[in-house]
Amino acid sequence: MNLPVFSYIDNDDFAIIKLHDMGLKMPYLTPIYRPDYYTLTIIQGGKGTFVVGDHIYELGPQHVFMKQPDLYFSSGWTESPVGYSISFTRFFFEKYFPDGIGANSGKSEHTIPVKEIS
């Protein structure tokens, strides 16, 4: 499978997209692609499906979805999404959170370190 790697993030390695302002025509389906960035999707309304690798996730109102880089991904919407997609690269995360995220900046058991997940 010679699938492309898309990179739409701006020069700051960070983007926030208002899903409800994209003007998607329903039903909407993305091609399968392999992004090289993290994505946090916050869904306030609408219905859709995310396919990540071999896993299928049904999404609807009040759902939050986090995806790591380099996984094959596709999404489809049957009801117009309302919410936000926040994307950032590993470089952005390491630059602004070099010790991870946590109450004590890397000294807490609740810290989320920047590590390669395999």
pLDDT tens for residues 4-28? 444 555 556 888 888 998 889 999 9
Rounded to an integer, what distance in angstroms lies between the CA atom of residue 40 and that of residue 27?
22
Question: Where residue 118 falls among pLDDT bands split at 50, 70, 90?
Answer: very low
User: Can the peptide bond before residue 27 be classed as cis, meaning omega within 30 degrees of 0?
Assistant: yes
Residue 3: pLDDT over 50? no
| 40 close to 112: Cβ distance less than 8 angstroms | no
| Ranges of each domain in the chain | 14-96
Name the CATH superfamily housing domain 14-96. Jelly Rolls (2.60.120.10)
pTM for the model: 0.74
Rounded to an integer, what distance in angstroms lies between the CA atom of residue 51 and that of residue 32?
9
Residue 88: pLDDT over 80? yes
User: What pLDDT, in 10s, does the model give residues 30-84?
Assistant: 999 999 999 999 999 999 999 999 999 999 999 999 999 999 999 999 999 999 9
Distances (CA, A) of 68 to 6, 21, 101: 14, 24, 16
